[in-house]
Each structure stands twice: as structure tokens, then as C-alpha cells.
Amino acid sequence: MTVSPLSAMAFEDRMATTEFRVSGTPHIVVEGDSCRGCTTRACVIACPAGLFVPTFDGGILFNYEQCFECGTCYLVCNTAGAISWSYPEGGSGVVFRRT
């Protein structure tokens, strides 16, 4: 099996090649009140960028600025309305640079 140079890179090294063009408008909004009753916290484990952070009082802190736009959080969350997900507006979002 041939391993491409990109897949052989450590996660931290791959992140260093990633650029985020941050929009002033969040493309993902997390409804904190919905999260307080959540027992799975699936987003915390599933997000590859580690953007969901549980708080001591049962809430969730979320920062959209380094989002890969993979959609995993939206798929794993089983609480209706907790996550509003869309792509960033044109010209914004993640840019993978394979240099």
C-alpha cells in the first residue's frame, strides 16, 4: 500500500498547513440551552478540530473559527435544534494548503 505524504503527516503538522479565512458570521451556531440536557456530548468526541468544549455547568463552548466543515457534529448530535449548520459565506472558511 502506498501512503501519501499528506496522510503520513502528524495531525499537528497537517493543522499547520491549514488556513482558515474567518467570516464575521458564524456558519455553525450551537444552541447552548439544548446542550444542557444532552447526555452523550457526542460533538466533544467527534469534532476532529476539538471545537466543542464542555463547561462545568453543563453547557458547551463552541468556536467556529477553525472548523474543517466536515459536518460530523451535525450528524452525531441527536438533539433537534441544538446545531444550526451551513457552509461559510463565499470566500470564507477552511483552505487546505498542501505545501
Q: Are 17 and 94 in contact (CB under 8 A)?
A: no
Q: Are 23 and 92 in contact (CB under 8 A)?
A: yes
Q: Which of 14, 22, 26, 79 touches ligand SF4 by CB under 6 A?
A: 79
Residues 19-58, one symbol each (x = binds ligand SF4 by CB under 6 A, - = not), give: ---------x-x---xx--x-xxxx--xxxx-xx------
Q: How far is the CB of 87 from ligand SF4 (least distance, A)?
A: 10
Question: Nearer to ligand SF4 by C-beta: 72 or 92?
Answer: 72
Place of cell 463552541: 62
Q: Is 88 in the site for ligand SF4 (CB under 6 A)?
A: no
Three cell numbers, residue 57: 455547568
78 CB-side CA count, 13 A: 5
Element (H or E) spanning 24, and its range?
A: none
Give the residues lining the site for ligand SF4 (CB under 6 A).
28, 30, 34-35, 38, 40-43, 46-49, 51-52, 60, 67-73, 77, 79, 82-83
